[in-house]
Structure 1
Amino acid sequence: MKAEIATLKNEFTQRLSSTRRGARLARHLAVHRLHTWGIPYGSELSDNAALIVAELAANAVTHGRVAGRDFELRLLLGSDSLRIEVADARGERTPVVAVPSAADSETGRGLLLVEALAADWGTTRRVVGKTVWAELPLS
């Protein structure tokens, strides 16, 4: 974790069902929590965070799903940045940014979006599964 996250102002953690509904709820909870922390709905930071949460949660329920296991959303608001973490139970699949094979493909662009919006992103292993994280600067 970077030094700016070490000066943590706020933290939010929620487990959600590994379903499309759970992924959608993750995005709604994230923007609501950011709003309560003073990052208003519709601001650039809120919108970028919503897109990142949506992509990471969709990947967690699509590629990281393990039957009977939830995924976890964690938001860490530091003095200089917002860290978004989405953890799932499947550790053997590490996300890779790949260019979609067909120009008209409707899938395969999620991590390209995360890479474009985030100042930094990556993965960390957990005892069970993995965490995919992204950081957004507050300014």
Structure 2
Amino acid sequence: MNFTIKTFSELTTTELYQILQLRAEVFVVEQDCVYQDVDFKDQKALHVFGLKNDKIVAYTRIFKPGDYFENSSIGRVVVAALERKFGFGHEIMKASIKVIKDHFNEDTITISAQKYLKKFYESHNFIQVGEEYLEDGIPHIRMDTK
């Protein structure tokens, strides 16, 4: 899968609509979590996404140091439910880590990870930092790159 990287202002209205639809489909509907996804942080982020048949099926948003956490960060990591069996989650994480290195010249990355995905993120060289906490009613852990 090839990934596209855009600032908020570079996104087309169709791309933005597809991103918001995918995030709502997974984070609100599938995970049965009522929360405010549109949080005015998208304007600061770099948006990384992969297309399949002209539809966004994998997505992350990237922040430079200080815009979300002290370190660079990756958030809203999402892959459409029907596309998860193809390894797109691993592909978009690798691409997102590369974006941080290429755009911000940073190696230290912080994420707020859903706890059940701990092993997935560990496979990308993240380690748990601190205790579990609730974010939007879902158990999360802070993870940093090693």
Q: TM-score band, normalised by the shorter chain?
A: 0.3 to 0.5
Could you say which structure has the higher strand fraction?
2
Q: Which has the higher contact order (CA 8 A, sep 6+)?
A: 1
TM-score (norm 1): 0.34
